[in-house]
Amino acid sequence: MSYGQGGQGQPPWDPWKPGSQQTPQWNNQRSTGNPDWAAMAEASETRNKRRKVLFIVGGALATIGVGAAVAMGVAGANGNNEAANQPSRLPASADIPGATTPAPSFEPTSAPPPLDPKQFIASAQKDTAPLSPDILFPGTQLTMGNRVYRKGPTADTKNCASAAKDTLPPVLTKNGCTRFMRVTYVKDGVAVTVGVAVFDTEAQASKAKAETNDKSIIASLAGNGIKAFCNSAVCRSTRNAYGRYGYFTLAGFTNGKDVTTKDTAVFTTGDDLAEFAFRQISRRGQAQASAAANQ
């Protein structure tokens, strides 16, 4: 006895076709026998597989469609074929919060110009700091480079002419010298006296310097273990001016020997003391300018 199977040579039952489309032989057989359960189960499985395929294909098409719609929406929002990251629809600057707020302003300020140290040594009115030979030439010795000079006697007078020789006394008197300070240093048998003439104004000091010549020399200062020098021997002298000060040197041998152009030690000694005198006068102006700026 068969269940749903036709005779030999007859087509099987197709569950996807309506009964009217089945072959007459199968209709007759089906109407009189039991259904073929195995065939129906196979057909159901086939139908489920087709549904899964349709769902997968449909989902993929839906995703593609959504992506295309989003892309079109972005392109349409930007317009004019501009890239999405180009802000072509920014509000005007007036619509941006804080865009119209003025930037903070500050009152212009300027530091006062620095004080000129030379102004404080250009006249007696401003040059009021204490002054003496030991202030200009402090200590007991002087070091210039690798050379050390021992400090000897000092002198200070208001009679400027008494501290000078030859053509210098009338020049000092004529131009109003008010004070003359001297100090002597010695090293290895070479002595030098440095003298500083004080005037009321820079103009007087400059004029006095211009009126000097090679015979305008100061009087050497001996004492404190330093023998007299340059009284009759040939010595080397210098003269210069800075601010309201004139400064001079006279250098020679303590044994009375004449100085020649080959005696470089004498020239070096005179130049060292002239340089130191200039530095001390300059520092005097710097110290007073600094004090005035801090008041």
Q: What's the CATH number where 194 sits?
A: 3.40.1000
Residue 172 domain flag: yes
Residue 136 domain flag: yes
Averaged confidence pLDDT in the chain: 80
% of the chain surpassing 70 pLDDT: 62
Residue 47 domain flag: no
Distance of CA 212 to the CA centre of its chain: 48
Residue 259 domain flag: yes
Residue 92 domain flag: no
Question: Residue 32: how many CB atoms within 10 A of its CB?
Answer: 7
Give yes or no for residue 217 having a pLDDT over 90. yes
Domain that holds residue 238: 119-273
In terms of average pLDDT, the best of 21-25, 93-97, 218-222 is: 218-222
pLDDT at 37: 54
**Rounded (10°) CA dihedral 160, 163, 168, 172:** -10
Give yes or no for residue 10 having a pLDDT over 70. no
% of the chain surpassing 90 pLDDT: 60
Residue 215 domain flag: yes
Burial code (b: 16+ CB inside 10 Å, e: under 16) for 155-190 equals beeeebeebbbeebbebbeebebebbbbbbbbbeeb
Distance of CA 170 to the CA centre of its chain: 55
Per residue in 53-109, pLDDT (tens digit) is 555 545 555 555 545 444 444 444 444 444 444 545 555 544 555 556 666 665 666
Residue 165: band (very low, low, confident or very high) from pLDDT cuts 50, 70, 90: very high
The DSSP call for residue 251 is E
The count of domains in the chain is 1
Averaged pLDDT, 130-149: 97
pLDDT at 172: 98
pLDDT at 255: 96
Residue 194 domain flag: yes
Residue 12 domain flag: no
**Residue whose C-alpha is closest to residue 173's, from 157, 186, 184:** 157
